[in-house]
Amino acid sequence: MSKKTEKKVQDEVIEDVQTEIQDETKVEQTLEEQLTEELKVEKDKFLRLFAEFENYKRRTSKERLELFKTASEDVMVSLLPILDDFERALMHINEDKEAEELRKGVELIYQKLLSNLEQKGLSKIEVTNGDVFNADNHEAVTQIAAPTEDMKGKIIDVIERGYKLGTKVIRFPKVVIGQ
């Protein structure tokens, strides 16, 4: 082989090697880009999954707290008629002057029951005669003719008290409104 041919072959080999190196570099770059893109996608999935899990934990703990607050709702609702009976008994005993000792005993039991229920989250919904009737907050039992013009659409009488357990209304006040 002559030196020119040998040089030509060397140049071709060098050129082939350079081409292969460039091809490998391009493949490595596209592989690297592809891996980087896959990493971004997986990182995004991970962050979304993590955020979803955090929301789930927050929601379930909130629901658990709410459940604990209102777990005794059935018991409270069943005790409300007893509270009503106590209030009616106290009104009738207050009218009888000879039953002072009985009134004190009934009042003591009523206050104990009420304070225990209040410790568990029960509270009265305060409604007085003359308040404006609101269908969202009151239950109208009946309507009667208003005694005065300014009592129209207002509460004339409270038939049954309303109660809340925490922030949830478990019984709306039953009222009579003026027409």
Distance of CA 93 to the CA centre of its chain: 43
**Average pLDDT value over all residues in the chain:** 85
HSE (side-chain half, CA atoms, 13 Å) at 99: 13
What is the rounded distance in angstroms from the CA atom of residue 134 to the CA atom of residue 169?
14
| pLDDT surpasses 70 at 1 | no
Q: What is the mean pLDDT of residues 84-113?
A: 86
Q: Are 126 and 164 in contact (CB under 8 A)?
A: no
Residue 105's pLDDT band (cuts 50, 70, 90): confident
| pLDDT surpasses 90 at 59 | yes
| pLDDT surpasses 80 at 106 | yes
Q: What is the mean pLDDT of residues 33-61?
A: 92
CATH tag for 122-179 (out of 1.10.30.50, 1.10.287.110, 2.60.120.10, 2.30.22.10): 2.30.22.10
Using CB atoms within 10 Å of the CB of residue 80, give its burial: 0 to 12 exposed, 13 to 18 middle, 19+ buried: middle
Residue 53's pLDDT band (cuts 50, 70, 90): very high
Q: Are 176 and 141 in contact (CB under 8 A)?
A: yes
121-166 per-position pLDDT tens digit: 889 998 888 888 888 888 888 888 888 888 888 888 888 999 998 8
50 vs 67, more confident: 50
Q: What is the mean pLDDT of residues 51-66?
A: 91
Alpha helices in 71-133 (DSSP H): 73-95, 100-119
Q: What is the mean pLDDT of residues 5-9?
A: 74
What is the rounded distance in angstroms from the CA atom of residue 59 to the CA atom of residue 115?
32
Residue 174's pLDDT band (cuts 50, 70, 90): very high
